[in-house]
Every structure is written in structure tokens, then in C-alpha cells.
Amino acid sequence: MHVFARVPKAAAPLKVPIGVCVLDDEWLGPDHRTGHPSVAIALDCCAVNDKQILITGATNGIGLAAAEALAALGANLAIVGRNKTRTRIASARIRAAAGRGATVATFIADLSSQASVRRLAAEVLARCPKLDVLVNNAGAMYGTPQLTEDGIELTWAVNHLAPFLLSKLLLQRLKESAPARIITTASQAHQGAHIQFDDLNAERSFRGFGRYCETKLANILFTTELARRLEGTEVTANCFHPRLVATGFNRNNGLLMDLGMTILRPMSRSPAKGAKTLVWLATSPDVANVSGVYFFDQEQRPPSPEAQDTETARRLWEISERQCAVSGRSAKARS
Ligand SMILES: NC(=O)c1ccc[n+]([C@@H]2O[C@H](COP(=O)([O-])OP(=O)(O)OC[C@H]3O[C@@H](n4cnc5c(N)ncnc54)[C@H](OP(=O)(O)O)[C@@H]3O)[C@@H](O)[C@H]2O)c1
């Protein structure tokens, strides 16, 4: 059993035991929906004292485990949740993991709504004068087609357009805080997926998993195009696959899917293990100058051929800008 201790400032990577561990890599605190042990990883990383890190989807699963680990390393965490109670509980867990009277800034936003993403960005800009790392982690799969208030298919809105819009709105602050990093949680589920440019709302055909895979492909294309646009700025953009992780993922799609996820649980990683590459991408000097790359298990991996297609990445960027333009005009008209 390791007992958490504050990590001192250090230039060189450290081997750090984080959290109160059982079985070497699992913490006692359970995931709020699956009961799976969360946090605690020993990894090669650098202390990140006073780095300001904003994480979406930090109320559960990979995002919560990453936030706990980063807080334990000394980072100042800002978390985004859509539910006040869950966000408050997550904040308390992150503060406990930090173990040093740390404060955690909390933001409430429903990432399916562009107006909510715009309010979130404005609030972050007002409250965080410095932003060293932005982690676009929130994501979900939906079994049935649903439209958001912006008229966008829900999976696309939450998994792709929210990271796209939030990153764009916070980009200037990240540049001012450079060196800075943008990390997006993608997935190996992107393999075999295609962006249906002529059916962006999946109106012709909708399959929950297929749609999810398309959005995870969009995460990788967004990362490579963002990295290209950020060349020469000291702001990097990378994404990663956490592997199969026992979280709340796909527990919102009825009893059968819930049962399926329970059956998969013995083959799944803990959220702490799933968060390991995220924490490394946020902290390690090894990736300080690496950008536009897809990782898993702390190694660069080639994504699918479509994910490497720079023309598709450029086209997706332009279409995403158009999909966010209407809410941008409404926001301007209101102000
Ligand atoms: N689990 C896996 O095996 C796996 C594999 C590959 C990739 N991923 C990716 O990992 C990321 C994290 O997922 P997870 O596995 O940790 O699942 P999770 O336990 O369900 O966590 C998802 C997080 O996203 C938040 N979220 C979902 N919809 C939101 C919305 N509309 N507005 C604001 N927040 C929202 C959730 O908030 P609530 O607490 O309010 O629900 C939660 O904090 C996702 O991008 C997912 O695609 C997961």
C-alpha cells in the first residue's frame, strides 16, 4: 500500500506513487456508477505544480481518474460537469486525492448545447487567467438518434462539436499560456469508420455504435488539423485511446447494453489505468514538442488511413466551423 505524498517540484521525470493504493495500482474510491476502483497509478511523469488543467467529463470514469491523478501531482484542476451534485462530489474526490488543501474550480455545462459551451468558455476565460492544459474527454454513445437544441445529432454534438468549439474559444488563452497542451480522448473504435459528409446528422441511417465510431474518427481528424494550425505556437494537440475501460460508458442505453458492459468488465481496465496515457500526455516532458499524434499506452500509433487523410481533416474543420456558426451569430446578437 502506498500513501500519497505531495510531489516536489522537479525538472526530471519521477516515478510517483499516487493515491492510497491497493494491489499496486488501484485506489479505494469507487467509480460512482460502476463501483469499479478508481485512481492511483505509478507512472513516469513530471510534477506539474501550479499548472492549470481544465478537464471535461471529470465527474466519472477516465476523466475523474485523470483529474485525481493530476491533482495528486500538484496541478490546479478545473473540472466541467453537467450535473451540480455529481460535479461537487467529483471535486471533493479530486481535492482528497490532492491532499494539500487544494482547490478545484468547477464549471457546469451541458456539452450537447453550443450556447452552454460558449457560456462555459466565457466563464473559463473570466476565472482562469492561465490555461496550461485543456483536456477534451467527455463523451458518450447513444442508442437512438436524438437532435440537440441546435438541430445537431447528439453524439456528434457532444463528442465532436463540443471539443471543437471549446478548443477554438479557449485557443487564445492557451497560446498566451504557452507552452500549452490540448488532449482529446479518442478511441480505437474509429478504425473502419468514415465521416458521412453528405449525412452529418445520420438521418439516412443511424446505428448507435457506428455513429460513436464516426465521432471518435472526428476526434483524431480534429487533432491533426488543429496541430497543423498550431504549428509554431508552442501549443500542442494530441489524442489517445484508453483501451476498454470499466466506466459509466454505454450504461445509458438500456438494460441489455448495461448487462453487456457488466459482462465486459473483467476484460476492462480500471479508470486509473485508462487515464494513464492522458496523465502522461498532460505532464510528460517526452511529449513537450510532439503534436498531431494518436497514442495508446504512451506510444504513438498510426490511426486508420481515413484518420490520416489531411484533406478529410481540413474538410471536417470547415464543416464544423459552419455547424457552430449559427450559435455564434445568436451569441453575438444577444451580447
Ligand atoms: N470506457 C471505454 O472503454 C472507452 C474506450 C475508448 C474511449 N473512451 C472515451 O473516453 C471518454 C470518457 O468516457 P468514460 O469511459 O470515462 O465514460 P463515463 O464514465 O460515462 O464518463 C463520461 C463523462 O462525460 C460526461 N458527459 C457525457 N455527456 C455530457 C454532456 N452532454 N455534457 C457534459 N458532460 C457530459 C459524463 O458526465 P456525467 O457524469 O454527468 O454522466 C462523464 O463525466 C469518452 O470520450 C469516451 O468516448 C472510453
Residue nearest to atom 44 of ligand 1 (CA): 139
pLDDT for residue 295: 98
What value does the mean pLDDT take over residues 328-333?
76
pTM for the whole structure: 0.88
- Give yes or no for residue 26 having a pLDDT over 70: no
Q: Which of 34, 56, 60, 165 to mutate to test the pocket of ligand 1 (most atoms within 8 A of CB)?
A: 60
> Do the Cβ atoms of 62 and 239 come closer than 8 Å?
no
Alpha-carbon gap, residue 304 to 306, rounded angstroms: 5
Side chain identity at residue 11, one-letter code: A
pLDDT for residue 240: 98
- In this structure, of 88-102, 112-126, 321-335, the range with the lowest mean pLDDT score is 321-335
What value does the mean pLDDT take over residues 56-69?
98
Alpha-carbon gap, residue 101 to 89, rounded angstroms: 16
**Which tens digit of pLDDT belongs to each residue from 147-173?**
999 999 999 999 999 999 999 999 999
Q: Which of 249, 267, 270 to mutate to test the pocket of ligand 1 (most atoms within 8 A of CB)?
A: 249
Residue nearest to atom 45 of ligand 1 (CA): 139
Residue nearest to atom 25 of ligand 1 (CA): 57
Cα 94 from chain centroid (whole Å) = 16
- Give yes or no for residue 9 having a pLDDT over 90: no
Alpha-carbon gap, residue 144 to 206, rounded angstroms: 8
CA distances from 17 to 3, 26, 44, 185, 267 (A): 8, 11, 10, 24, 24
* 270 CA to centre of ligand 1 in angstroms: 14
Nearest atom in ligand 1 to the alpha carbon of residue 245 is 3
Positions marked active-site: 212
Residue with cell 450537447: 112
Q: Which three cell numbers stand for residue 249?
A: 460508458
Q: Which of 56, 68, 77, 82 to mutate to test the pocket of ligand 1 (most atoms within 8 A of CB)?
A: 82
Binding-site residues, ligand 1, Cβ < 6 A: 57, 59-63, 81-83, 86, 110-112, 137-140, 158, 185, 187, 241-242, 244-245, 247-249
> Do the Cβ atoms of 153 and 147 come closer than 8 Å?
yes
197: which DSSP letter? T
198: which DSSP letter? T
* 246 CA to centre of ligand 1 in angstroms: 11
* 291 CA to centre of ligand 1 in angstroms: 24
